[in-house]
Structure 1
């Protein structure tokens, strides 16, 4: 929808210019001159483009909260209204719905992760450690790694307990605080997957998902 609005807005502007009696070539040349700073012919997925965009004064809305914060800006409301997409209050409502969807999704994912740690991963770690009771020389760094899962899970619980109540602040908090903690915990669990006895790991591994049909 956004891409369609961008295209329609550009064409509407061009039509308005043509309606003043200007030649098509002159209108297009003027639009190009005005907007050429957004054109990048390099690799848009490389680290080069964000740096170049910053030099050109272009915004880098690389997270959902950053993008949502601009969705119902005065400029966007004006173009939505002009093209009869949304009225101003409808734009605000749409932004609120997207915030709610983002916040709810992250909350569910974080709580699900905690549940998976406490009912699946940690019990499996405990069973694995029991197998090394009489052979401590082979335990390696399992105790440290498994302990990190417990600590990481507790930290995730703590950050979840401090989520702000403002819908915008909540989204930013989930993005900047909760998600990084989930990523950190995930990294420890990835290490654990390589230490646990295969039969103890409680969830399907990538290997199982990809190659189980060959068995």
Structure 2
């Protein structure tokens, strides 16, 4: 019988920050007591699940904030001019490619990454050809492109942290996908973490079945 339950009627039960009082109005019958107890159990389980989700979100955000996970470097070291024998023409062609790909950065982040490499190659080729003013121009444009990309990278990382902190999984997932596009050319601990985080968010949002559900 319910009278023999471990929790007496009128007891206060704290679960996950939620306080529940087990009891019904005086004179209520046994059926009302059963329904009340079942409702209390459902609410309690929901509270525990909510706390678990919040803690999981906090852990996700902390793993990106605490500095233990270094963000991927986006750019490779500058290379040499590929065609030193015809360095001026190679520099001019690399500069043309860099400008064209840089214009597409907002539509394809990897074009921006490629543009920085092309600017660097143009600079090296112009220097090899003795065309110092052209090399300086390529260096300035490449630096501006690099700054724009790094600014976007910082903005996306901050946006992801803030979205996770406030429990906005939909925005976090959209931002995360942009980050993965920007770091698509990298394979390291940071990009592996982003991939796992994307999977977790998709599961939370019901966009992906976990292994147990799939079976």
TM-score between the two structures when normalised by the length of structure 2: 0.33
TM-score between the two structures when normalised by the length of structure 1: 0.33
Structure of greater relative contact order (alpha carbons < 8 Å, 6+ residues apart): 1
**Rg larger in structure:** 2
